[in-house]
Chain A
Amino acid sequence: MATPLLAPAPVTLVPRTALDALSGPPQRFLASAWPWRSLAYLLAGVVPSLAFAAVLAPVRVVGGLAAAPLSLVVAAVLLTPMARFERWRLRLADRQPVRGLPDGWWPGWREAGHALVALVALWWADLLVVAAAIAGPAVLILSPVVQPTAPEGEATLGQTFVASAVGLLLVPVAAYTLAAWAGARAAMARAMIVPQEAEMREIARSRARLVDAFEAERRRIERDLHDGAQQRLVALSMKLGLAGLDLPPASPAAVRLDEARELAGQALAELRELIRGVHPQVLADRGLPAAVRDVAGRSPVPAQVHVELDRRLPERVEAAAYYVACEALANVAKHSGAGSCAVRGRLRRGRLLLEIADDGIGGADPAGGTGLTGLADRVAAVGGTLTVESPCGGPTTVRAQIPCEW
């Protein structure tokens, strides 16, 4: 059986971005690599513009009327490596994986646009911030060295050392400034180059893989129990029954044997209920409509079933919908006081709509019990929504909408 491989999620509190690092304890932040990474990130912004200028210089020499269109061509050619560079550079200030970006040579309009903006406008802003953050403390720290040559000896040596001390105190401030600006710039770059829906899609996909893995595991457990314990219990009870035939009826041994057979029967019944909860066989074999009809058949409150589907649905959708039907019908039986209920299901525009309506007293509160919340979670895990309509006095309607395609 192919179980989807899942990459383990990083379970650490190590900051993943410069902005995250800022909010940590100051001593840890200052000792970390983040101020340096931030500095490198901001300085690296200069590289594309230098490269651009270097390539453009010969073009200018060619000069004349051809210069303007030639520069445009150069810019267009350089856009791809620049976009690659920006993607790499982002990792300096933001170590979260970048998902959903195109793999081919053409970076896509988002990244190309971002590279262009960075080339035209952002690099010098980065450079200004670096200059401001570093120049202040640097000048102050260096004042004992720089000042003595000043005319008129305005500042005493003592004063210059005070200035130097102040400069040293300003170094952490500079580190914070750099990390804050780098963090903000990286967040902006991420927002520009990583399409939001791609990230959402990736999250939805990983969630679906997780649900599938659970479903596969449930089937495996069901199969193991069915092929192992259940068969053995049936065989046991059969052997006990056969053994009973050899004993005189109503003898103490026969009575005890009969008791043992009953116990085996009870164990079988309990095991059967357990397995039904894990993964019902009829759902796997015949699909949702048959499985829902069987659940409704077991419901103490008479239930009408109209589930019309023209095809089998993905396994996880079937499992979630089945779970909704089971839980909703159990709630109807336990709480609603209804005399009858109905389960309706159909497909509309690639979504499964499942509705369980009763004629009971209503007043079901999703916040009150865990049952409805658990249901909503289960449906949300496959990308669906659950709505409960249950005014006091009734009736109650539970509706689930589950997308059948991704």
Chain B
Amino acid sequence: MIAEDSVLLREGLAGLLERFGHSVVAAVGDAPALIAAVAEQDPDVVVADVRMPPGYSDEGLRAVLELRAARPSLAVLVLSQYVEQTYAAELLDQARPSGGGGVGYLLKDRIGEVTQFADAVTTVAGGGTVIDAEVVRQLLRGRRDPLARLTPREREVLALVAEGRSNAAIARALFVSEAAVAKHIASILAKLDLPPDADDHRRVLAVLAYLRAAA
């Protein structure tokens, strides 16, 4: 399910997702149509633009929040032209660590990295969390003191965790073994007084909640 007001992008996105084996059940251009289409089609995942008609402000995000409130298991990936922590925070506030469907907040720029974007859609559809690297960077920058206790390597790992990557993906990105990643993560969680958790999705949310509370 795609909700995006620009026809050019809407059709591009549909083509992209179909190319990666997803099927697009509906592509709509405004928020009321999105809500109606979700009720009708019951999609696995919704990809929505923040800004949509009729008001061209944040209708897309509001519609998504409304949909999530009615159906917490619905997976949503929100695309934004800007990194606004406010929007990311509103999305994450709804995605309580237990039970909810996947959540994603990405800059529109990331669509260009087609493979990673398709992966992100898959992750969110599968109940995972994907947060734009830019949001994570801002959250990390906002807070210094407790994070100062982390080693530079641990901070790198933390950023990747917050982006919603699995241990295996982090290991690949940093060229280390999965065991080493697990060790780093255990150490990070200990330093931040967070309970250890095996579930990637919940782990990400815990870390984000911590960062946001601190920032």
B64 to chain A, nearest CB (A): 14
Q: Does B108 contact A (CB under 8 A)?
A: yes
A150 to chain B, nearest CB (A): 92
Q: Which secondary structure characterizes the binding site on chain B? A: helix
Q: Does B169 contact A (CB under 8 A)?
A: no
Q: Does A300 contact B (CB under 8 A)?
A: yes
Q: Which secondary structure characterizes the binding site on chain A? A: helix
- Are A281 and B86 touching (Cβ within 8 A)? no
Q: Does A285 contact B (CB under 8 A)?
A: yes
- Are A223 and B56 touching (Cβ within 8 A)? yes
| Complex interface bits, A222-244 against B, C-beta within 8 A gives 1, otherwise 0 | 01001100111011011111101
- Are A282 and B112 touching (Cβ within 8 A)? no
Report the tally of A-B residue pairs with Cβ distances under 8 A: 102
Q: Does A14 contact B (CB under 8 A)?
A: no
The complex places the Cα of A293 from the Cα of B84 at a distance, in Å, of: 9
One of A21-29, A170-178, A268-276, A309-317 at the interface: A268-276
Q: Does B138 contact A (CB under 8 A)?
A: yes
Asked whether A238 and B142 contact (CB < 8 A) given A231-B6, A281-B57, A282-B84, the answer is: no
Inter-chain contacts of A227 with B (CB < 8 A): 6, 56
The residue from B16, B57, B113 contacting A285, defined by CB atoms under 8 A apart: B57
A345 to chain B, nearest CB (A): 16
B84 to chain A, nearest CB (A): 5
Q: Does B22 contact A (CB under 8 A)?
A: no
One of B7-15, B24-32, B97-105, B121-129 at the interface: B7-15
Cβ < 8 Å to A, chain B residues 81-117: 81-82, 84-87, 108-109, 111-115, 117
Q: Does B172 contact A (CB under 8 A)?
A: no
The complex places the Cα of A268 from the Cα of B113 at a distance, in Å, of: 13
Inter-chain contacts of B139 with A (CB < 8 A): 297
Cβ < 8 Å to B, chain A residues 346-372: none
- Are A234 and B108 touching (Cβ within 8 A)? yes
Asked whether A234 and B112 contact (CB < 8 A) given A239-B12, A242-B15, A294-B86, the answer is: yes
Q: Does B178 contact A (CB under 8 A)?
A: no
The residue from B57, B81, B85, B109 contacting A265, defined by CB atoms under 8 A apart: B109
Asked whether A242 and B86 contact (CB < 8 A) given A234-B108, A235-B12, A298-B138, the answer is: no
The complex places the Cα of A230 from the Cα of B80 at a distance, in Å, of: 11
| Complex interface bits, A251-281 against B, C-beta within 8 A gives 1, otherwise 0 | 0000000000100110011001001100011
Inter-chain contacts of A234 with B (CB < 8 A): 9, 108-109, 111-112
Inter-chain contacts of B86 with A (CB < 8 A): 282, 286, 290-291, 293-294
Inter-chain contacts of B9 with A (CB < 8 A): 231, 234-235, 238
Inter-chain contacts of B111 with A (CB < 8 A): 234, 237-238, 241
Asked whether A297 and B142 contact (CB < 8 A) given A234-B109, A281-B57, the answer is: yes
Q: Does A6 contact B (CB under 8 A)?
A: no
Give A295's nearest chain B residue, CB to CB: B85
A322 to chain B, nearest CB (A): 13
The complex places the Cα of A332 from the Cα of B86 at a distance, in Å, of: 23
Q: Does A284 contact B (CB under 8 A)?
A: yes
Q: Does B51 contact A (CB under 8 A)?
A: yes
- Cβ-closest 7 pairs across A and B: A237-B112, A241-B114, A290-B86, A231-B6, A285-B58, A282-B84, A285-B57
Q: Could you show 28 A-B contacts with beta carbons less than 8 Å apart?
A: A226-B51, A226-B81, A230-B81, A231-B9, A232-B8, A234-B111, A235-B6, A238-B12, A238-B16, A238-B111, A240-B112, A241-B115, A245-B19, A261-B112, A268-B109, A275-B81, A281-B50, A281-B58, A281-B84, A282-B86, A290-B86, A294-B84, A294-B85, A296-B142, A297-B85, A299-B141, A299-B142, A302-B144
Binding site for B on A (CB under 8 A): 223, 226-227, 230-232, 234-235, 237-242, 244-245, 261, 264-265, 268-269, 272, 275-276, 280-282, 284-286, 290-291, 293-294, 296-300, 302-303
